Amino acid sequence: MGSERQFLFLCQGKDCKKLGAKLLKKEIKSLLQAKLHRGKFQLVLTKCMDRCKSGPICALGNEVLKRVSIRDIEKKIKEATSLDSQQG
């Protein structure tokens, strides 16, 4: 089951966009194009997740990431990838 694709949800609601979610979408897309991550993650754009004051909001696995930056996402993806390879 280790090769299953993980979903990464990114809010594209009005408030998150104001807080940088539009640029973040581009950054995540290019990050996921990297050979290392290709085919392992699927970016899903969402409407408002009702956490507007803490935007941009992103969810990966069971975790909701608040005021997220591309650095945070890189870190989480790296963790998720290493967990994935440990589980085989």
* Residues near ligand FES (CB under 6 A): 11, 13-16, 48-52, 55, 57
Neighbours of 23 (CB within 10 A): 11
Q: What is the smallest separation between the CB atom of 14 and ligand FES, expressed in angstroms?
A: 6
Q: What is the smallest separation between the CB atom of 24 and ligand FES, expressed in angstroms?
A: 11
What's the N-to-C CA distance of the chain in angstroms? 8
The residue among 4 and 50 lying less far from ligand FES, judged by its C-beta, is 50
The residue among 9 and 76 lying less far from ligand FES, judged by its C-beta, is 9
Residue nearest to ligand FES (CB): 13
3-class SS at 21? helix
Is the distance from CB of 23 to CB of 68 less than 8 angstroms? no
Closest CA to 77 of 45, 29, 40: 40
The residue among 48 and 80 lying less far from ligand FES, judged by its C-beta, is 48
